[in-house]
Amino acid sequence: MGPFYARPFFDGKQFWKTLSAETFADARDEADHLGSAFAAKAKGLTVAEFEQATNSKRIPLKNAVEAFLAEASKKKRPKTVVGYQLNLTQFLDSAKFLKFLDEVSKQTLREFRDYLAAGPWIRTQDPAQSRDDRSLSA
């Protein structure tokens, strides 16, 4: 794919910047970094300082998932937690472009639904089988 371009503003002017990325996801990351670089430069900060200040109160998506699973493991049955782990791992795989919890939207969830519909997913447990097992043991 490519080439990809960004049109950042700097000192009140917008200009074209050719990106070196080869995929759309990489181009998005590079464009985000480029925007951060110009914003940092305008404030007299390094990119790391700017991003740390900008994102200090945001919750990383991966941290939110880990915290949810840790809490679930205290209150839910082990099979339920395994199901949560499977579903959330698939969600993180489908939403690689998201970094923070506040970026999850209805559109993100629609894209996850479509991601699941398109993929050949292996079930961890066959619901019909487990229903039959329960009726035999009763």
Q: Which residues contact 55 (CB under 8 A, 6 or more apart)?
A: 100
Q: What is the pLDDT of residues 105-119, one digit of tens each?
A: 999 999 999 999 987
* pLDDT tens-place string over residues 51-91: 666 677 788 899 999 999 999 999 999 999 999 999 999 99
- Which residues lie closer than 8 Å to 10 by C-beta, 6 or more apart? 38, 41, 42
Tell me the mean pLDDT in the region 12-34: 79
Check: CB of residue 80 under 8 Å from CB of residue 90.
no
In the three-class reduction of DSSP (H, G, I as helix; E, B as strand; rest coil), residue 60 is classed as: strand
pLDDT band at 135 (very low <50, low <70, confident <90, very high): very low
pTM for this structure?
Answer: 0.55
Q: For 20-89, where are the E strands, in sequence order?
A: none
- Between CA 62 and CA 74 the distance in angstroms is 19
